[in-house]
Structure 1
Amino acid sequence: MIRHWAAVEGDLSREHHVTAAELASMSTRRFLVLIGDLSDQARFPRAWQRTPRRADSPEEIARITGLPAQ
């Protein structure tokens, strides 16, 4: 998420009118609710989907892909 912080901050400002000061003092719960409520036009969800994930175990690969662990 830190990698895409500009998109996060921009999306929250544009869609929810959250200022940087409000974001800095926001609870984790509220932050996650607002992130989860971003529209299809938001930049962060698309950037997050393109972010490679590191998978070190068959269980982690299964969790990411939805396929059973081998």
Structure 2
Amino acid sequence: MAIEADFMREYRIDDSELARLSWRRFLVLLHGLSPEALYPQLVEKTPKQVDDTEAATIMSQA
């Protein structure tokens, strides 16, 4: 729902246009959302969990 609302607000893309987007175009628009959009804020607040200990080690060194 947040993505649909953000696309309507920021790009003026309605449900019918959204359904016709290619995956590439959808991802380009998704990554292009402003920081004020709801979706990026939700992603930022989502806890990140890493199960693989090697990946956790790499991430802790970054």
Structure-1-length-normalised TM-score: 0.72
One-letter code aligned to 1:20: D
Q: Which residue of 2 aligns with 1:56?
A: 51
- The equivalent residue for 1:41 is 36
**Structure 1 residue identity aligned to 2:42:** A
What pairs up with 1:1-70 in 2 under 5 angstroms?
6-62=1-57, 66-68=59-61
SS of equivalent residue, structure 2 residue 18: helix
> Post-superposition, which runs of at least 4 consecutive aligned residues in structure 1 deviate over 3 A?
none
- Listed as ranges, the gaps of 5+ residues in structure 1 are 1-5
Q: Distance in 2 between matches of 1:59 and 1:30?
A: 33
Q: Unaligned 5+ residue runs, structure 2?
A: none
Q: How many residues align?
A: 61
Query: CA deviation digits over 1:1-28, x for unaligned, max 9?
Result: xxxxx11000000000111011112101
Percent of aligned pairs with the same amino acid: 38
CA RMSD of aligned residues (A): 1.6
